[in-house]
């Protein structure tokens, strides 16, 4: 199984990014969710997911992200999505998910928010 998720642990959070993946859909969402949950240690409270390489997310992909959000929130933490393309943002708006997820333009901005 090819790993698509990379993790970089920062003092304030874990930063997750995708490598070799353009769509978070029914073909990849379950595998990616398992990879993310496997990479997040039990001590991880806050997480940033960089979606800059993702061009499309379907309902299954959003379900995977919501699952990760629930895991992080269950630890009294925060999840911030960064690098959200205009196409994905439009889908999030249609699915009324812009109020569910916290967004930042860049990873650095997200880390700064978590450090505040």
Mean pLDDT by runs of 10 across the 116 residues of the chain is 79 91 93 89 89 96 96 94 97 96 97 90
Residue 16 belongs to what H/E stretch? Answer: strand 14-18
Closest CA to 49 of 113, 110, 93: 110
pTM: 0.93
pLDDT for the residue 1: 46
pLDDT for the residue 113: 94
CATH tag, 5-115: 3.30.750.24
pLDDT for the residue 99: 95
Residue ranges of domains in the chain = 5-115
């Amino acid at each position: 199984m090819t790993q698509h998720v990379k993790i970089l642990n920062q003092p304030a959070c874990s930063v997750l990014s995708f490598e070799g993946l353009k769509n978070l859909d029914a073909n990849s969402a379950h595998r990616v969710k398992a990879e993310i949950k496997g990479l997040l240690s039990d001590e991880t409270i806050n997480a940033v997911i960089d979606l800059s390489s993702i061009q499309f997310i379907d309902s299954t992909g959003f379900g995977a992200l919501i699952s990760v959000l629930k895991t992080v929130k269950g630890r009294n933490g925060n999840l911030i999505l960064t690098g959200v393309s205009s196409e994905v943002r439009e889908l999030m708006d249609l699915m009324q998910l812009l109020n569910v997820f916290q967004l930042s333009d860049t990873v650095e901005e997200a880390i700064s928010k978590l450090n505040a």
